[in-house]
């Protein structure tokens, strides 16, 4: 009857004690095996014949310290570009996906344009889009041409918008038609149905792949440096050329991973949660 004052039977007490002992044992086993493997790896790497040379040219603390300000200011560019381009690409992807769901002959040209866009930009290598926009378009010498950085960002938005549109579309199409029927039967218009019934469910369902693409975008924003602006990798490259030492690259790599960790953690968490929801937990 009373959940709060339930006294476990001796059988249950024995089971609980056993499970506790098992937990302690597995933690100990895991710690021991991790320590053993770690030691082995460190010994293998530092014991290698070329280790001293590698350490000098890849892991020089003094060079890392010198390169840090330049690499950090490059990384700041990456972060700003990532935030703007991710927001832009998500918005563009969503709009394109919605345009592709429109039915009726009036919308044929819109649908066709949206489909053509996703086909083109998913097929086109990002580097080519970047070169065309940052090198080709300024060549037109039009009045009021935006700076190269904005054009580079646009190239990223256009390319990733194509991928994200397909992810959104898959999400929208995964919503069962009975949900649309239920919404329409209540008198909701097509737009209201999309806004209040289909999209909230679709976005939740595709949040993991969406975030995954944002993580990929984080690595690709640096490509704008091909057109001039200096991002973290480009800053590291410059420092490397000055010192003939690869440590700045390692530094930039570590910073990139540190930057990505929160995003990847969020992605994993969202994936786990949606998997749990789907299994009805």
> Where along the sequence are the contacts to another protein (CB under 8 A)?
178-179, 181-189, 192, 196-197, 200-201, 204, 280
Nearest approach, Cβ of residue 198 and another protein (Å) = 10
In the complex with another protein, the residue whose CB is nearer, 144 or 177, is: 177
Q: Are 172 and 179 in contact (CB under 8 A)?
A: no
In the complex with another protein, the residue whose CB is nearer, 201 or 243, is: 201
Nearest approach, Cβ of residue 191 and another protein (Å) = 10
Q: Are 65 and 77 in contact (CB under 8 A)?
A: no
In the complex with another protein, the residue whose CB is nearer, 26 or 279, is: 279
Nearest approach, Cβ of residue 204 and another protein (Å) = 7
Q: Are 146 and 140 in contact (CB under 8 A)?
A: no
Match 């080709």 to its residue by tokens. Answer: 136
Q: Are 247 and 57 in contact (CB under 8 A)?
A: yes
Nearest approach, Cβ of residue 203 and another protein (Å) = 10
In the complex with another protein, the residue whose CB is nearer, 35 or 181, is: 181
In the complex with another protein, the residue whose CB is nearer, 105 or 280, is: 280
In the complex with another protein, the residue whose CB is nearer, 37 or 272, is: 272
Nearest approach, Cβ of residue 186 and another protein (Å) = 4
In the complex with another protein, the residue whose CB is nearer, 190 or 256, is: 190
| Residue 121 tokens, joined | 């930009």
Nearest approach, Cβ of residue 202 and another protein (Å) = 10
Distance CA 244, CA 239 (A): 8
Nearest approach, Cβ of residue 273 and another protein (Å) = 13
């Amino acid at each position: 009857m009373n959940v709060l004052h339930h006294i476990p039977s001796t059988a249950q007490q024995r089971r609980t004690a056993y499970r506790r002992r098992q937990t302690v044992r597995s933690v100990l086993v895991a710690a021991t095996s991790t320590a053993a493997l770690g030691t082995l790896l460190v010994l293998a790497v530092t014991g290698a014949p070329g280790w001293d040379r590698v350490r000098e040219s890849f892991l020089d603390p003094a060079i890392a310290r010198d390169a840090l300000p330049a690499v950090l200011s490059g990384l700041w560019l990456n972060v700003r570009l990532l935030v703007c381009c991710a927001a832009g690409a998500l918005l563009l992807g969503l709009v394109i996906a919605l345009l592709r769901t429109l039915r009726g002959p009036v919308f044929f040209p819109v649908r066709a344009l949206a489909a053509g866009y996703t086909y083109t930009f998913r097929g086109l290598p990002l580097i080519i889009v970047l070169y065309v926009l940052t090198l080709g378009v300024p060549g037109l010498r039009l009045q009021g041409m935006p700076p190269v950085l904005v054009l580079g960002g646009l190239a990223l938005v256009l390319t990733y918008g194509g991928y994200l549109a397909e992810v959104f579309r898959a999400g929208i199409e995964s919503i069962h038609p009975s949900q649309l029927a239920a919404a329409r039967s209540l008198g909701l218009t097509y737009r209201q149905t999309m806004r209040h019934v289909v999209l909230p469910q679709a976005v939740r369902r595709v949040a993991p792949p969406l975030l995954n693409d944002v993580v990929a975008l984080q690595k690709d924003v640096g490509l704008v440096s091909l057109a001039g602006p200096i991002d973290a990798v480009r800053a590291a490259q410059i420092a490397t050329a000055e010192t003939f030492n690869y440590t700045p690259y390692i530094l930039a790599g570590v910073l990139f991973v540190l930057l990505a960790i929160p995003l990847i953690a969020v992605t994993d968490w969202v994936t786990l949660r949606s998997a749990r929801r789907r299994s009805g937990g």
